[in-house]
């Protein structure tokens, strides 16, 4: 019975994308069907076969290994922040140490791969292959692969030459897709709080669902003449493909580049920590204010009621669906780190069934929340003209809807194969 409800949920999420489509007649149904089938196959492979599970587990173990290496740097500077298991003296590690400080290693590592050209090469050719399979425009496919490695603002920033040359409708598609971005450098932090196998399963599933949802919500016909990837010597796109460049077109010296990368990682940690602290505090303030009217009223209860039907359609019983709905709402209002922090000590216990554990982890693995819309709009304002910006700003609701539907679809599809 619950499996049937889960299947119904996937259908309902797709129906919502169709219902809110800007131009139903332009939806590329062939591409949508191909991507949906590919998504189901990948979810089935990663969750149901030992080889798929071994691949995902190996990737998760790789990120965990990176985090453990990062602890060696942390214990050198702050031994009382790290547990004896990793050479420190702390009784337990706090959120900053276990989840954020490892970013100081992971971000520079990915930046080095970009500097020497390995990461851009992977993105380029995987993107072309995805375009051939799905029938989507080359750059949209290219961008969807960037989403696996870069955050929303980073992916947009390294693509600014292309954004300036595209129609505003295509830029809106990219803005909507950006709601489902993930940063590879933060995956290590995620895997320390929730099951790594489902975190890494969610990454490719989110990419494909972003293609499906944006193709339905904002269908745009792209001619062969328009379907090109801008490449100009000295451009930011070229810089992204070959490494960092200076104003005169020469590659920046390696250690200068590395220093900037480390400082950027430090700023990222401060931004995440500040957002988590601020949003948790603001949510607590709202709860206190609501409690003045009725002790039962809280942000989680209100959002839980609103999101309950969508949570139930994941194939959960009523009790679990209400709890899941509260986590969904909290993630949308705050961010994924807040919810992951709440459940990190219990998600791998009997408090969560395998199905519940899988769909919650997958739903949380994206940047889809209210604050992300502001980051994306701000990024576009620094890149494209006023006409493009106005269209994107007018469609904040569609950006949020896109991010929510992608998360729902990803969780629902993975949930079909984990019980």
pLDDT tens by residue, 39-53: 999 999 988 887 877
Residue 153 is predicted with a pLDDT of: 65
Residue 230 is predicted with a pLDDT of: 60
From 96-100, 237-241, 243-247, 374-378, the region with the lowest mean pLDDT: 237-241
Mean pLDDT over the full length of the chain:
83
pLDDT band for position 34 (cuts 50, 70, 90): very high
Residue 200 is predicted with a pLDDT of: 84
Residue 184 is predicted with a pLDDT of: 66
Residue 86 is predicted with a pLDDT of: 87
State how far Cα 45 lies from the chain centre.
21
pLDDT at residue 243 greater than cutoff 70: no
pLDDT tens per residue across span 286-314: 889 998 998 888 877 787 788 899 999 99
Which neighbouring-strand residues pair with 245? Answer: 251
pLDDT at residue 62 greater than cutoff 80: no
Residue with the larger pLDDT of the pair 92 and 244:
92
pLDDT band for position 281 (cuts 50, 70, 90): confident
Rounded average pLDDT over 116-140: 80
pLDDT at residue 66 greater than cutoff 70: yes
Residue 78 is predicted with a pLDDT of: 92
Rounded average pLDDT over 183-187: 69
pLDDT at residue 351 greater than cutoff 90: no
Residue 204 is predicted with a pLDDT of: 86
Residue with the larger pLDDT of the pair 243 and 22:
22
pLDDT at residue 345 greater than cutoff 50: yes
pLDDT band for position 333 (cuts 50, 70, 90): confident
Q: pTM for the complete prediction?
A: 0.78
Residue 232 is predicted with a pLDDT of: 40
Residue 38 is predicted with a pLDDT of: 92
CB count within 10 Å of CB 303 equals 19
Q: What percent of the chain has pLDDT over 70?
A: 89
| 72 within 8 A of 87, measured Cβ to Cβ | yes
pLDDT at residue 411 greater than cutoff 90: yes
């Amino acid at each position: 019975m619950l499996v049937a409800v889960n299947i119904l949920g996937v259908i309902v999420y797709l129906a919502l994308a169709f219902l809110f489509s800007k131009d139903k007649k332009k939806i590329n149904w062939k591409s949508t069907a191909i991507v949906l089938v590919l998504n189901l196959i990948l979810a089935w492979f990663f969750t149901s076969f030992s080889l798929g599970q071994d691949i995902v587990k190996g990737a998760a173990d790789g990120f965990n290994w990176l985090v453990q290496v990062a602890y060696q740097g942390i214990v050198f500077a702050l031994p009382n922040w790290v547990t004896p298991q990793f050479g420190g003296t702390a009784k337990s590690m706090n959120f900053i140490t276990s989840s954020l400080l490892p970013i100081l290693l992971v971000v520079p590592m990915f930046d080095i791969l970009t500097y020497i050209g390995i990461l851009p090469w992977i993105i380029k050719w995987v993107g072309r292959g995805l375009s051939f399979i799905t029938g989507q425009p080359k750059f949209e496919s290219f961008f969807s692969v960037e989403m696996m490695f870069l955050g929303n603002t980073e992916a947009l920033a390294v693509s600014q030459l292309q954004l300036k040359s595209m129609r505003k409708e295509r830029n809106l598609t990219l803005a909507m897709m950006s709601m489902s971005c993930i940063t590879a450098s933060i995956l290590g932090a995620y895997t320390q709080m929730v099951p790594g196998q489902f975190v890494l399963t969610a990454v490719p599933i989110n990419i494909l669902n972003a293609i499906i949802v944006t193709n339905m919500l904002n269908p745009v016909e792209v001619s062969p003449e328009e379907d090109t990837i801008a490449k100009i010597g000295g451009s930011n796109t070229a810089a992204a493909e070959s490494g960092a460049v200076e104003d005169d077109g020469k590659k920046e010296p390696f250690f200068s580049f590395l220093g900037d990368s480390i400082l950027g990682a430090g700023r990222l940690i401060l931004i995440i920590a500040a957002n988590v602290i601020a949003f948790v505090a603001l949510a607590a303030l709202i709860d206190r204010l609501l409690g003045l009217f009725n002790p039962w009223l809280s942000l989680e209860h209100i959002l839980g009621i609103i999101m309950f039907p969508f949570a139930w359609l994941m194939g959960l019983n009523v009790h679990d669906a209400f709890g899941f709905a509260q986590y969904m709402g909290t993630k949308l209002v705050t961010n994924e780190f807040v919810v992951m922090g709440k459940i990190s000590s219990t998600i791998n216990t009997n408090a969560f069934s395998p199905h519940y554990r899988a769909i919650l982890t997958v739903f949380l693995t994206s940047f889809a929340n209210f604050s992300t819309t502001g980051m994306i709009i701000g990024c576009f304002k620094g890149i494209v003209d006023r006409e493009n910006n106005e269209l994107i700003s007018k469609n904040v609701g569609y950006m949020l809807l896109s991010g929510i539907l992608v998360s729902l679809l990803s969780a629902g599809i993975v949930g079909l194969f984990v019980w």
